[in-house]
Amino acid sequence: MYDPDKRKVLSALCHGSIFFGSLLVFIGVPLAIMLVSDDPVVKDNAKESLNFHLNVWIYEVIIAILWGSIILIPLALLLMIPFFLFHWILPIIAVFNVLGNTDAPYRYPLIFRFLK
């Protein structure tokens, strides 16, 4: 049996790492937890968090490319609003979800899963 308090903290740390700001920190924390932890739910939460980070990078690149094209700046501005909500609201929902339900990993909607 795995410790539910440890599971809560590690899972919330994985999803909340996006708020730490530094690239090495918000990728390094879930990666380190995924490699060190032996809890399957914590590992799944870490993988899901890394998938979310990769998706955020991809969406940032797409918006930057659109922004670089003078003609597509209005489209980039239009996409920045849902991206902002996607980038900041979904991790908050994930943190609250893993704190409330320790038995199942949180799955982000609308992302591509690169790590299985």
The pLDDT tens digits of the residues spanning 81-96 come to 888 888 899 999 999 9
* Mean pLDDT across the chain: 89
pLDDT value of residue 87: 86
pTM recorded for the entire structure = 0.87
pLDDT value of residue 9: 93
Q: What is the mean pLDDT of residues 62-84?
A: 84
Residue 59 token pair:
């969406």
Q: Contact at 8 Å (CB) between 56 and 87? A: yes
pLDDT value of residue 22: 67
The pLDDT tens digits of the residues spanning 36-66 come to 999 999 999 999 999 999 998 898 888 888 8
Phi and psi at residue 103, to the nearest 5°: -90, -15
What DSSP assignment string belongs to 86-111? HHHHHHHHHHHHHHH-SSS----TT-
Place of tokens 């700046």: 73
